[in-house]
């Protein structure tokens, strides 16, 4: 009855055991965690479509989430709600029962869809029946833009030499957002060799 959130390997620990290593899990869910089959790229490192099955309180709709795993839970166990994803084989994206929420994906870096799941877990809502699952091919294609920044400006050069000013980071970030980019990263190109922290004022502006 206590609110419990499990992330990534935290979901796998709910089972009896795992092919990854000797030892026992918590045994809350009967079964064994499996490794992705040969021919499937491991680790699964990227965004994948997660689709709820049946009636769920937290994962109420399909959405993309970020995964980083080489092992998986094969099926939603009896008495649990949850959602499935596909990476060579069908596998559990998340499980829920009562106040337990267990996510194979990383909700903390999976955008607004996963934030909604966490909000509903923090403040439980009425369960809804999920829409029918759709066919998909697994890992999603994402457009990720990188702003190389130096002294508060976006710069371009060759191997970080002969830099030229390409504009204001916040203005360019807005342009990318309006263009539909999926993610935006900022690379402070001189922070490491200057031995300083990242330029937080630039990050805040973006």
pLDDT tens, residue order, the chain (206 aa): 789 999 999 999 999 999 999 889 999 999 999 999 999 999 999 999 999 998 899 999 999 999 999 999 999 999 999 999 999 999 999 999 999 999 999 999 999 999 999 999 998 776 667 666 666 667 777 788 899 998 889 998 887 788 889 899 999 898 888 888 888 889 888 888 888 888 888 888 88
pLDDT at position 131, please? 66
Q: Give which of 67, 70, 49 is closest to 59, Cα–Cα.
A: 49
Helix (H) or strand (E) holding 12: helix 9-12
Distances (CA, A) of 178 to 63, 171, 175: 21, 11, 5
Write down the pLDDT at residue 130.
65
Q: Looking at residue 183, what is its pLDDT?
A: 85
Beta bridge partners of 197: none
- Give dist(CA 95, CA 103) in Å, integer: 6
CA distances from 119 to 48, 62, 92, 173 (A): 21, 16, 21, 27
């Amino acid at each position: 009855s206590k609110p419990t959130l499990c992330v990534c390997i935290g979901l796998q620990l709910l089972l009896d055991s795992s092919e990854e290593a000797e030892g026992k899990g918590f045994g809350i869910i009967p079964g064994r965690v499996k490794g992705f089959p040969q021919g499937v790229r491991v680790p699964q490192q990227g965004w994948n479509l997660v689709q709820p099955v049946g009636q769920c309180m937290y994962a109420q709709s399909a959405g993309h989430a970020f995964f980083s795993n080489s092992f998986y839970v094969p099926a939603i166990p009896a008495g649990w709600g949850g959602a499935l994803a596909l990476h060579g084989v069908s596998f559990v994206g998340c499980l829920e029962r009562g106040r337990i929420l267990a996510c194979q994906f990383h909700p903390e870096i999976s955008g607004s869809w996963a934030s909604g799941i966490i909000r509903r877990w923090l403040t439980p809502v009425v369960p809804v029946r999920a829409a029918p699952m759709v066919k998909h091919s697994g890992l999603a294609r994402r457009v990720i833009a990188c702003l190389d920044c130096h002294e508060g400006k976006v710069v371009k050069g060759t191997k970080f030499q002969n830099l030229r000013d390409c504009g204001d980071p916040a203005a360019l970030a807005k342009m990318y957002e309006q263009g539909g980019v999926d993610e935006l990263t900022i690379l402070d190109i001189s922070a490491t060799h200057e031995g300083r922290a990242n330029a937080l004022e630039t990050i805040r502006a973006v």
